[in-house]
Amino acid sequence: MAVKEQIVKVWIEEGCIVCDACETAAPDVFDVQDETCEIRPDALKMEFTKPRTDSIVEAAEECPVDVIKFDVVSEEVADAALAAPSPAAAEAAPVASAPAPVAAAPSEPAPAAVAKSPVKSPAVSVAGAPDPAIQALLRAATARGGMAGRSRDEGGPEAREWSKKRADDLPPDARTSKVMQGTRGKDAGVTRRGLLAGSAAAIGWAAFGGTTMVSGVAFQRFLMPNVLEEPDPKIRVGTVSQYAQMVPGEVNEDYKPIGVWMIRTEGKLAALNIICTHLGCIPNWLANDRKFKCPCHGSGFYPDGINFEGPAPRPLERFKISLIDGTIVVDRSKKFQFEKGEWDNSDSYLSV
């Protein structure tokens, strides 16, 4: 006869990551559900757990988050039972006391029961073998063709039996699961995870489709001309008599705010665009120096618009000008460029 520690109660604390490791090690004790792991109803009895001490200890060791707890009691067992002692249990014993949570077990038959935490044995890691928890994770992940973590919906037949009972009538481990099940959808085929993923995808695609549609509609806007928002390019700038006093080389700035300088050249009256041909600044008319001078980069233009200094590459542009019922009308949508020889076009000036 020899003394051996026997597990009389096993339970799972919060924090299970449903990795399947424990069920792989002790399938008749642990039942991994979608969100947590439960102890199977049979395993709530100590007669059931005692002979499975080794596999439970193994499962506890392999648990990567150490949530499997159990109470042990030392009992004398037949030598035969000791013939193949669990190395894991033996190794775990010396280090059992240190970080063990105190497991109050008032209903324990043996007063000598000690709370025992499945601390991973240092001996194992020193031996060079990888962490048993990692091994178990790998084993569980590859079990059932790699589908171990999925395809599990309602657990075993026990779970189905529980689902018929009221939560209060259930053993404590199943109670949590029962309550948790209440939060799921009625349809057994719909899991919370699946519902979340599905609705996220639906929202995402709907948003994508909606955005695409809205931007598609908005894009139509760019295909249409901005006619309504554009001020009339034709402006009236008074009568010819207004400019009769001007001598050639003189500049009238009255219409600068709407983008036109009225200029006089030999025998001609023309409308000059005020935009600098370098980078689009508005030059100033310096009457004393008799030139247009851009304040941004120093381009200079003669009174007739010809560039002569600074970086401007070409003369100022002239607008179409015409006489309608005695009123001078400048059409800013039609421009005449000197370098293209367009200033000779009769639309670009009025003869005076």
Q: Enumerate binding residues for other proteins (CB under 8 A).
A: 256-259, 274, 278-279, 281-284, 286, 288-289, 293-298, 300, 308-311, 313-314, 339
Using the minimum distance from each CB to other proteins, give the nearer residue, 160 or 297: 297
Q: How far is the CB of 263 from other proteins (least distance, A)?
A: 16
Question: Helix H segments across 108-191?
Answer: 122-126, 132-142, 157-162, 172-182
Q: Are 313 and 302 in contact (CB under 8 A)?
A: no
| CB closer to other proteins, 193 vs 297 | 297
Least Cβ distance, residue 290 to other proteins (angstroms)? 11
Compute the least distance from the CB of residue 247 to other proteins, in Å. Answer: 21
What's the min distance (Å) between Cβ of 314 and other proteins?
5
DSSP structure class, residue 311: S
For the CB of residue 281, give the shortest distance to other proteins in the complex, in Å: 5
Q: Give yes or no for a contact between 315 and 338, defined as CB atoms under 8 angstroms apart.
A: yes
Which string of b and e fits 223-245 if b means at least 16 CB within 10 Å?
A: eeeeeeeeeeeebebeeeeebee
**Which is closer to other proteins, CB of 48 or CB of 255?**
255
- Are 280 and 296 within 8 A, CB to CB? no
Q: Which is nearer to other proteins, 70 or 285 (CB)?
A: 285
The residue (of 154 and 254) whose beta carbon lies closer to other proteins is 254
Nearest distance from C-beta of residue 246 to other proteins, angstroms: 20
**CA count, 13 A, side-chain hemisphere, 61:** 27
CA–CA gap between residue 55 and residue 52 (Å, rounded)? 6
Q: How far is the CB of 127 from other proteins (least distance, A)?
A: 35
In the numeric block, which tokens belong to residue 336? Answer: 């005449």
- Quote the CA–CA distance of 169 and 28 in Å, as a whole number: 22
Question: How far is the C-alpha of 252 from the C-alpha of 271, rounded, in Å?
Answer: 10
Q: How many whole angstroms from its chain centre is CA 190?
A: 25
Length of the chain, please? Answer: 352
Q: Which of 50, 278 has the CB closer to other proteins? A: 278
Work out how close the CB of 256 gets to other proteins at its nearest, in angstroms, rounded to a whole number.
5
Q: Which is nearer to other proteins, 160 or 340 (CB)?
A: 340
- For other proteins, the closer of residues 88 and 312 by Cβ is 312
Which among 27, 78, 79 is positioned nearest to 56, based on CA atoms?
A: 27
Which amino acid, one-letter code, is at 186? K
Distance CA 47, CA 8 (A): 8
